[in-house]
Structure 1
Amino acid sequence: MMDLADKSVGFILSAISLSIFTYYTFWVIILPFVDSDHFAHKYFLDRKLAIIIPVLAGVALVSFLCIFIGLVMIKSKKKSS
């Protein structure tokens, strides 16, 4: 039973990741070559956000990792004392 739940979660996470990757690829690589009056432009955000969003996500990820590692180091230091 648990194996099926793990597979379902893995499939959902893979589907979400693939859809985000596909959207971002079209947004950054293909959309600049499409005419600006094409209907496809209304489904995508401004191009400036194509840089800002990943940078902010990266900063948040690195911050979270630093905080996590710091907390683990503090807890392990308390255990060894």
Structure 2
Amino acid sequence: MELADRAVGLLLTLTSLSIFTYYTFWVIILPFVDSDHFIQQYFLPQEYAILIPVFAGVVLLCFLCIFIGSVMLKSKKKKA
């Protein structure tokens, strides 16, 4: 089981590192590259650099609120 946990940890670390590197390159370096350069085809337009994290944050906040609300309702039913 320990080997599986380490493999999952390594996979999550590599995934988050690759996402961080892609996003950092997209937001910090890409605005200084010419718009007709071939590397531009691998990235979405700059507007999405803000829209995607904001949307993900709102979705995460909604799920968190729903989870906390359901836990509070379940604990209230157990007391009664």
Normalised by the size of structure 2, how large is the TM-score?
0.96
Q: d(CA) in 1 for partners of 2:78 and 2:13?
A: 38
Letter in 1 for 2:64: L
Structure 2 stretches of 5 or more lacking a match?
none
Correspondences of 1:21-32 after superposition (within 5 Å): 21-32=20-31
Count of residues in Structure 1 that have an aligned counterpart in Structure 2: 80
In the other structure, the counterpart of 2:10 is: 11
Runs of 4+ in 1 over 6 A off after TM superposition: none
In the other structure, the counterpart of 1:56 is: 55
TM-align CA RMSD: 0.6
Structure 1 stretches of 5 or more lacking a match?
none
Letter in 2 for 1:47: Q
Normalised by the size of structure 1, how large is the TM-score?
0.95
